[in-house]
């Protein structure tokens, strides 16, 4: 992990990799993130940057790798998946978050985008299945409940396309 992290830094900064921050643009060159539809959200969620540039420290990088590792528990994976899918960072998945989530999964191209009717029906289906308290949003415990019923989630982390 240290070797991969330091290779993302300019040569002159590699000796101090433990105290350096890798810019988001470099993190996004990792093959594991390059094709991930949630790449920007992943950087945002794992970055501890105080400037909001989504750069990563070595510790941030380790946290990200550990969550995506096979040994991470389903609870850990679902906690971070929820944060990644919570596009407005308000602690719930509302209709806007769900729409962005669907758009990330289906792609932004005209041919793959859902019609507004299809999108509304899909979001309605997701809420009917997941929104236990019927408040129009999915909270972390409701998300955890849905994930616990999905055997594929733990295997693939819920974040792969």
| pLDDT 10s digits, 111-135 | 778 899 999 999 999 999 999 999 9
109 has pLDDT over 90 = no
pLDDT at 104: 92
Distance CA 143, CA 78 (A): 8
Share above pLDDT 90 across residues of the chain, in percent, rounded to a whole number: 82
Distance CA 114, CA 125 (A): 14
pLDDT at 73: 92
pLDDT at 148: 87
**Residue from 68, 69, 54 nearest 24 by CA:** 54
Q: 131 near 95, Cβ under 8 Å?
A: no
Partners of 125 in the beta sheet? Answer: none
pLDDT at 97: 98
pLDDT at 62: 97
Confidence of residue 161 (pLDDT cuts 50, 70, 90): very low
Domains of the chain: 1-68 (1.10.238.10), 74-157 (1.10.238.10)
Distance CA 37, CA 88 (A): 17
108 has pLDDT over 80 = no
List pLDDT tens digits, range 45-66.
999 999 999 999 999 999 999 9
pLDDT at 155: 57
**What is the phi/psi pair of residue 53, to 5°?**
-90, 0
pLDDT at 160: 45
Confidence of residue 21 (pLDDT cuts 50, 70, 90): very high
């Amino acid at each position: 992990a240290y070797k991969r992290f330091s290779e993302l830094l300019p040569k002159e900064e590699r000796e101090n990799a433990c105290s350096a921050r890798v810019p988001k643009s470099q993190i996004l060159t990792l093959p594991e993130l390059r094709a991930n539809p949630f790449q920007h959200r992943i950087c945002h969620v794992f970055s501890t940057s105080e400037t909001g540039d989504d750069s990563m420290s070595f510790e941030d990088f380790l946290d990200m790798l550990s969550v995506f590792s096979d040994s991470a528990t389903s609870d850990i994976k679902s906690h971070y998946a929820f944060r990644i899918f919570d596009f407005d960072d308000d602690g719930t998945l509302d209709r806007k978050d769900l729409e962005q989530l669907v758009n990330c999964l289906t792609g932004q191209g005209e041919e793959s985008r859902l019609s507004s009717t299809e999108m509304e029906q899909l979001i309605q289906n997701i809420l009917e299945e997941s929104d236990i308290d019927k408040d129009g949003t999915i909270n972390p415990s409701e998300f955890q409940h849905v994930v616990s019923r999905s055997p594929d989630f733990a295997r693939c982390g819920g974040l792969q396309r």
